[in-house]
Amino acid sequence: MKIAIIGSGNIATFFAKKLTEHGFEIVQVISANPAHAKALAVQYQSSYSTDLSALNQDADAYVFAVKDDVLLEMAQHFQLHDKLLIHTAGSIQLDELTSMSTQLASIWCVYSINKNHLPIHDKVPLVVQANTPQVLEKVKKVALAISQNLFYLTAEQQSTLHLSAVFANNFVNHILSISERLLESKQIPMEALLPIIQDTVDKLQFSAASKNQTGPAIRHDEKTMKKHLMMLQTEDDKQIYELISRSIQNS
């Protein structure tokens, strides 16, 4: 199957690598960043361009791995007619792209992909959707080349999963960055926290997160919580501490 990729970032890089490993051919890369487009295309001996109007019309499928707002903007003026369009955005539903093609599908990675440290396993969770059963069979072949861990969800379920992923990944990572900053201020290595972070994740395999909560908030240890608040230097950090502590106590 011949694949054209629109995008040259983390997901585009990940998909291109996995697809070519399973016999798919990357025939073109389109990206607004010419250097990135060329760098990705060169790896797979494919053509590249910064102009969407120069898109190869002979591909079997077109993977749109671009930012959500960019994809929605494209949907206003670009059409693939009856070509297979696969987008990778977790927050965009297929019915938002009906003007682009009659064959619509999505493959969303429930994973934080970094093109400089691509996952080597085949267990990355992928949410797969299609606008018809026939299209679903086509996109499944593409998805299975990327991962064996597929989920078939409704639009509503995917929206909920996307929201949950923001809490579990984006918000947790930001909180970890606060921890990192606090440690650095006292010359304490992050390695001191890594075992407890790993243990928190490992426990989810056999127990619900709500059952694993520990710490001063769940114990209503007001003395310790006040001490912690006095140690925090910024109002944002104090508000985050208070808000999450209150949420823990009210859950």
Together in a domain, 103 and 61: yes
Q: What is the pLDDT of residues 132-161, one digit of tens each?
A: 999 999 999 999 999 999 999 999 999 999
Of 107, 122, 153, the position where a domain reaches its end is: 153
**CATH number where 185 lies:** 1.10.1040.20
Residue position matching structure tokens 């997901």: 11
Query: How confident is residue 100, by pLDDT bands cut at 50, 70 and 90?
Result: very high
Domain shared by 8 and 124, yes or no: yes
Exposed, middle or buried by CB within 10 Å (0-12, 13-18, 19+), for 135? buried
- Claim to verify: residue 221 and residue 127 sit in the same structural domain: no
Residue 240 belongs to what domain range? Answer: 157-250
- The predicted pLDDT at position 59 comes to 97
Q: Look at the chain and report how many structural domains it folds into.
A: 2
Q: Domain check: are 8 and 82 in the same one?
A: yes
Residues 79 and 144 in one domain: yes
The last residue of one of the domains, among 123, 153, 183, is: 153
Are 99 and 177 contained in the same domain? no
Question: What's the pLDDT score for residue 139?
Answer: 98
With a CB cutoff of 8 Å and minimum separation 6, the contacts of 50 are 30, 31, 32, 33, 34, 37
CATH number at residue 32: 3.40.50.720
- The predicted-structure confidence for 178-225, as pLDDT tens digits, reads as follows 999 999 999 999 999 999 999 999 999 999 999 999 999 999 999 999
